[in-house]
Structure 1
Amino acid sequence: MSPPSMDGHEALGDKVLTMDLVTACLEADKGKDVVLKSFEVKNFTAAGDGLASQVTGVLVDYQSAGRDHQVSYVAKINKPSKHSDTVLLLREYFEKEQGFYTEIVPVLNEELRRAGLRSLNIPRCLLVQSKKGEEVIFLEDLRERGFKKRDCRQGLDEAHCNLVFGELARLHAASVLLQEKSKVDLLESYPYLFDCYEKEDFPYESYHHVFGGVIGGIGEAAQKIGGYEKVAHYIKEVLKPQYISLYRQGLQSTYIKALVQTDCWVNNFLFRYNEDGVPEEVVLIDFQFVRRSSPSVDIICVLCSSTERDFRHTHRSKILRAYYEVFKGVLQAGGLEPDFTVDDLEKDYESRRVFGFLLGIVFSGATLRQDGKGFHMDDLGDKNDETVIQEIEEKVGSMLDDPVIRDRIVSILDDIASSGIV
């Protein structure tokens, strides 16, 4: 789950992206016989983007074989914070993503190639810098290949979902092939996959006061909207105080295990469209939260964060079955058979309903605001935790004036009301 926004570090790229660092990236991409002439840091993200990192463009002018050229890269920079828990947590997440790109993606793609299949649709990682306080990941700029984000306020329709779930199935299945081949458990080979949510004593509890504020704010919003009194009580008296334990429970692996992206919402997919505006290809981005769990974690995250209620209820079984066919096809190409059925997947998905409610609440209350006035981790600062929670609850309440956010909130309230839980 993406952390709330931490805007206000616009100059970070100018500080961290040095001439030497950009030169190293260019040489990693184009070879040692290039000459960097100049580069420019060009932000291209919208307000509210880059919740855990600053993501910026780097436009590079260089010379190769006596000719002038230009290329663009994406630099993902670990954001600073005034809050100690946030500093440690984001460093942990950044190390996870660096390891995923540099160590795990190559071996996943090797397994797919062995099976006669194409590589994963994931950005090429060109260079990483792990220097404390200046952590950077350089990625190819997929805009140069025609990929772009879909408006998060629109969500995903069937055409977009078919692409997303097909690529997620390929990622999940490739990790199963890798585990089958490896003589060592993947959590031992890549210990950064084992993160704070799997530790017995959760180390960053104060960090989640922000999420507590979001959840409480949705509870207050339910009362303001009217007709959701029982749902409001459930959100405020069950989901809010038990948020960390319920979220951790939702992430737990079952007998169905794979590497999952975990932060699967519309902003973490890039699409390429044809001339008629029909999506033809998807690329998965943002792997700061990758871990081993059930594939249904990613499936429920997409549906609860990025689709309309009617769509996810009418298309869920169809989506799960289409996902399963791709997953099974990849495994069979690699000489394996799935050790679970599509009905098992449906049951596993259903067992994570409360996890889905939490995702729907947080995404509806924290990620759709596009004016840069969302939730900042520096809101924690030196403030009393209760003060922070109250301030964030008030911010969520003010979002009801936005019809898109209001409809998304009502959607998740309806899900809870019809679940039979309250």
Structure 2
Amino acid sequence: MSNIPAQVYKTLDQLVNGDVDNFEITIQNPNKKGEGFMGEMLFVSLKHKKSHKEVNVIVKQAFREKAIRDSIPIRDIFMNEIYFYSKIWARLDKFQQQVPTKYHFQKIPKCLASVSNENSEYLVMENLKLQHFQTHEKKIPLSKEHYQLIVREYGKFHGISFAYKALYPEEYAEMAKGLVDIYADMSGREFFQNGIKYLYEIGIESLQPGVDDAVIEKFRPYLENYLDVFVDSVKLKTKYTVITHGDCWSNNMMFKYYDAKNVTDVRFFDFQLAREASPCCDLSYCIYSGAPKEVLQDLDRYLQIYHDSLSTTLREFGCDPEEIYPLQALKKDWKIFCKLGITMGLMIWKFKTTYDEELKDFTDITSDEQEQIFLTGYDKDAFRKRARDLLCHLYESDFL
């Protein structure tokens, strides 16, 4: 039981039908800095002492230090994810059973158990590594094949939510109301506001005077209105809302490959920031935080792939895509809600290019120094390349 909290130990006991005393428990490979800003992950292996039967799980546990919990909404963040798995996904997964299996969205790992008390929260998840899923090297942009797969699956995920909303509007509204908008909470915290301003400042530094003057001129107002830009992208409402993933960067996805290059499957996890919002919040965050230039230049193609998948899913539930979410409405929403993707894209590229030895989580800084989470040493050349590609794309597409 060493290093296993008592509540988690009881949960593991339930997973092995009350026989945990006959299992050897080992903890392997805790997550690295920068892979869990609000808590830590334990990779737990239970091996039966006689039969050698093995059970492998991941335990996500929230930071328990009072100073951190007082300054960051950690409990809300973890309770949000617990609510997503226990209430929202349980209901949406049951709902999709009415259509043929080939149209199901099955890209979320199983949550085997969750525990929450006043000052402690845990989730016990299946270990996807044992199913040959792997994380993507964060410093390398995702390929066009990755994005074809990702947007197709987001189309299914959002499609189920849209269909449930259309067919059972009252039940959907009650379900969605249980989610906490963590983005809205964070936007009111001074350290996060200062972080956004800093990201826009280093973003504009990636542009080249004399070459990118038009882009600089168009982006400059973001430095003055950085908070309004972010808050508007979070709080503005449209009738085209669904349950969103919320935290859509590559570290919250795992992939399976046929060989070294050909990606065949994906799993999405970490639903701590799940909320009701425009699908464009998920899509723009995902694309702007990890796409190479060639994907940005071909954005319309990926939006079409997404919408085709969404439409197929909706039709299976007897819904008309042109009524639920027409493609022209998606493109109109993109101009509004991609602002969230801009902010989160710059933030994630900053984290992705941060030197490993410089990575921090909230246990490394005091409550009055939280903006230090952003002010780490990083590969400026690598960041500036990604930021410039993004900002030039936004200008050329008239999204700024």
Tell me the distance in 2 between the aligned counterparts of 1:178 and 1:418.
Answer: 37
**Residue 231 (structure 1) shift:** 5.7
**Residue 72 (structure 1) shift:** 1.2
Determine if the alignment matches structure 1 residue 317 to structure 2 residue 295.
Answer: no
SS of the aligned residue for 1:92 comes to helix
* 1:1-400 matches, cutoff 5 A: 15=3, 17-18=4-5, 21-28=8-15, 30-32=16-18, 35-62=21-48, 67-80=51-64, 82-83=67-68, 86-87=71-72, 89-117=73-101, 118-182=104-168, 184-197=170-183, 204-209=188-193, 211-212=195-196, 214-215=198-199, 217-219=201-203, 221-222=205-206, 238-240=221-223, 242-251=225-234, 252-314=236-298, 316-338=299-321, 339-377=324-362, 381=366, 383=368, 395=376, 398-400=377-379
**Residue 126 (structure 1) shift:** 0.7
**Residue 75 (structure 1) shift:** 0.9
CA deviations over 1:41-93 (Å, ceiling 9, x no partner): 22243332112331221111236xx6221121111111245345533x12111
The amino acid of 1:188's aligned partner reads E
The amino acid of 1:336's aligned partner reads C
Tell me the distance in 1 between the aligned counterparts of 2:7 and 2:38.
Answer: 25
**Bigger shift: residues 403-412 or 371-380:** 371-380
The amino acid of 2:354's aligned partner reads R
CA deviations over 1:229-288 (Å, ceiling 9, x no partner): 7766776x6435543432232233312121111211111111111135411111111101
Tell me the distance in 1 between the aligned counterparts of 2:165 and 2:394.
Answer: 37
Paired residues in the alignment total: 394
**Residue 409 (structure 1) shift:** 2.6
**Residue 372 (structure 1) shift:** 4.2
Which ranges in structure 2 are unaligned for 5 or more consecutive residues? none
| 1:273–1:280 CA contact under 8 A, matched in 2 | yes
| 1:239–1:358 CA contact under 8 A, matched in 2 | no
| 2:196–2:227 CA contact under 8 A, matched in 1 | no
| 2:24–2:47 CA contact under 8 A, matched in 1 | yes
SS of the aligned residue for 1:352 comes to helix
Tell me the distance in 2 between the aligned counterparts of 1:240 and 1:408.
Answer: 19
CA deviations over 1:383-416 (Å, ceiling 9, x no partner): 4x7xx65x67763xx4244x43332233234335
The amino acid of 2:168's aligned partner reads S
Tell me the distance in 2 between the aligned counterparts of 1:107 and 1:392.
Answer: 36
CA distance 1:234–1:277, change in 2 (3 Å)? closer
TM-score, length-scaled by structure 2: 0.86
CA distance 1:173–1:80, change in 2 (3 Å)? same
| 2:218–2:395 CA contact under 8 A, matched in 1 | no
Which ranges in structure 1 are unaligned for 5 or more consecutive residues? 1-12
Identity within the alignment, %? 19
The equivalent of 1:407 in structure 2 is 385
| 1:210–1:377 CA contact under 8 A, matched in 2 | no
**Residue 183 (structure 1) shift:** 5.0
The amino acid of 2:33's aligned partner reads A
Tell me the distance in 2 between the aligned counterparts of 1:186 and 1:350.
Answer: 26
Tell me the distance in 1 between the aligned counterparts of 2:194 and 2:156.
Answer: 34
CA distance 1:350–1:224, change in 2 (3 Å)? closer
The equivalent of 1:4 in structure 2 is none
**Residue 337 (structure 1) shift:** 1.5
CA distance 1:238–1:185, change in 2 (3 Å)? farther
